[in-house]
Amino acid sequence: MEKITIQGRKLIMLFQEYKLKNTNLRNRVVMAPMTRNQSPGGVPTDDVISYYSRRAKAEVGMIITEGIEVSHKASSAYPNVPRLDSDDAQEGWKKVVAGIKSHDGAVIAQLWHCGGFRKLGMQPNPDVPGHTASGLVKPGKKVAHEMTLEDIKETIDAYASDAKICEQLGFDGVEIHGAHGYLIDNFLWEGTNIRQDLYGGSIDKRSQFVSDIIKAVRDNVSDKFIVGLRFSQWKQHDFEAKLATTPEHLKKILLPPVEAGLDYLHSSMRRFWESEFTDSEENLAYWTKKISNIPTIGVGSVGLDSDFIDMTAPATPTSIDKAIEDISNQKYDMIAVGRALLSDHEWVLKMKEGRLEDVIPYTKDALMNLY
């Protein structure tokens, strides 16, 4: 530990043990969920198993898997994304979990419904269109199927069923993907949810869908099983969009799902070092923690000198002083690392030892290849 010179005590706090519900993490560094498109037929391959195991061995505290498509007819929008709805897929995930656990890692399965990003002709179920709250994928653009109450019930049931499968496979918990313009975020955003029923209109009604999902998941798993939610202000197709323009507005959005039974929140930012609201220097993760009073993960280009507008663009390793300060000052509890862990699976070890100069820079090759 002699090489640790950046606020010595504070850096140690980032890398010391942390307890999330009943799960002990060896440090507060989380591997962010990143789509890899390397699971043909929805089945994780041996390369996928090794990919996760390699990072657990290199002391990532908690791994959140790439998005796993929820077992619903309209959840898919991208090729070779893993699923849970076959024996082969479940066996693949069982091996992923075993590989991570063999290195004393913790692992959360991210459950993902792509919503309006799905188009007719996509596999599986090519006759099924994308599903959204009001048929909109962006304000004024109605190109998807407006979900009926029966569609909503089927989707909620799918999340609950898949969460139970994840617990049976040995995962420590699930994370509900509610960010980036996908289905749940589509319900949360007033720009795309113009329903006039239980699931739309006011802020609290726009939160009803995700709250019902969390309640159903919580009721279908054990008390020790972790249930988290990832959310964002920005969307894949609108980086400037916001769910909330003030902390008070954010509180109205977040408290219903928190009260439904969440164990943590995962605040997705493009640049974690930027402030979120006018008249405050604090980021979204800070406000999430302050409002919810539950464990919070911050993420957004950690350890790199540029954000991910272009995922193929190279990025240089950079200091994590800001993350160190925020964690040490208890502004939030954990920090998630994405692209930096794609390019260098030993990122945690190198940063822990103060070897920034040894970290492998991020390039397009890290995105295209699974290692």
Residue 83 one-letter amino acid: R
pLDDT exceeds cutoff 80 at 12: no
335-348 average pLDDT score? 97
Residues 6 or more apart whose Cβ sits within 8 Å of residue 147:
131, 132, 133, 155
pLDDT exceeds cutoff 70 at 187: yes
- Active-site option among 18, 182, 199, 264: 182
pLDDT exceeds cutoff 50 at 233: yes
User: What local confidence, expressed as pLDDT, does residue 1 receive?
Assistant: 34
pTM equals: 0.95
User: What local confidence, expressed as pLDDT, does residue 11 receive?
Assistant: 56
Just give the CATH number of 8-368.
3.20.20.70
pLDDT digits over 85-144, tens only? 999 999 999 999 999 999 999 999 999 999 999 999 999 999 999 999 999 999 998 999
pLDDT exceeds cutoff 60 at 327: yes
Q: Compute the C-alpha angle 333/336/341, nearest 5°.
A: 145
Annotated catalytic residue 52: no
What is the Cβ-side half-sphere exposure of residue 219, based on CA atoms within 13 angstroms? 11
Q: What confidence tier does 306 reach under pLDDT thresholds 50, 70, 90?
A: confident
User: What local confidence, expressed as pLDDT, does residue 132 receive?
Assistant: 98
User: What local confidence, expressed as pLDDT, does residue 312 receive?
Assistant: 79
pLDDT exceeds cutoff 80 at 357: yes
- Whether 256 contacts 211, CB under 8 Å: yes
Q: Which token pair is 287?
A: 């406000």
In the numeric block, the tokens 């323009």 are attached to 245
Give the integer Cα–Cα distance in Å for 315 and 326. 23
- Percent of the chain at pLDDT > 90 equals 91
User: What local confidence, expressed as pLDDT, does residue 2 receive?
Assistant: 36
Instruction: Sort 205 into a burial class: Cβ within 10 Å, 0-12 / 13-18 / 19+.
Output: middle
When mean pLDDT is compared across 145-149, 311-315, 317-321, the lowest value belongs to 311-315
pLDDT exceeds cutoff 60 at 311: yes
User: What local confidence, expressed as pLDDT, does residue 309 receive?
Assistant: 66
pLDDT digits over 267-287, tens only? 999 999 999 999 999 999 999
Q: Compute the C-alpha angle 201/206/211, nearest 5°.
A: 150
Residues 6 or more apart whose Cβ sits within 8 Å of residue 292:
254, 255, 258, 262, 265
pLDDT exceeds cutoff 60 at 34: yes
Q: Domain extents for the chain?
A: 8-368
